[in-house]
Structure 1
Amino acid sequence: MDLSRLSTDALASFAVFADHLNFTRAAEELHISQPALHVKVQKLAENLGRPLYTRQGRRLTLTSTGEQVARFRPRPRRPHDGFPRRRPRHRPRSRPDPGRR
């Protein structure tokens, strides 16, 4: 199975879903809506041409394909990745130069 052509965001999102086997909890961890996560997982399954999970009543279980995809875990991007750390709001004022006005 060639996972390189798939969205890393969708793969990372699926990995979180696979940990929880619950769309609501996984969406909360990813800070996205439950329907948005469901669409990502659904599109990922469509791109692969295979189901990634099965539903039996309220219980979700991964298929063998889902287990394989879940093992490929790109690091999820977080809103603060790639940005410098936030500077403190309150900075000490520098002393005025006595020779300057």
Structure 2
Amino acid sequence: MSTHHSPPPAGPDGPAGLVGFTVDLTSQEMLQRAQVMAALGPDWDPVDVLRGEEEAYDLLYSGLDAEQQRTYDALVAAGVLPVRGGGRAAA
């Protein structure tokens, strides 16, 4: 016994029984952004945060031994890491 299924006939809104719709998430996204900013608090300073990240990267790449420095230089040359401290890791 074989069963044959035909697609439903198309109507002005697409296949019968289906209705097109859109969802605008803009208000939800704005609410989420407001909640993130509220969670960060009024003392959050993005410039200070970025400065702290730069200091952490400088510390991370400081005091490298010769082999580590070669690896660092190779990663900079390959474009994996940005140049720091004039092309050398900080001493």
Query: TM-score by structure 2 length?
Result: 0.23
Q: Relative contact order: is structure 1 or structure 2 higher (C-alpha 8 Å, sep ≥ 6)?
A: 1
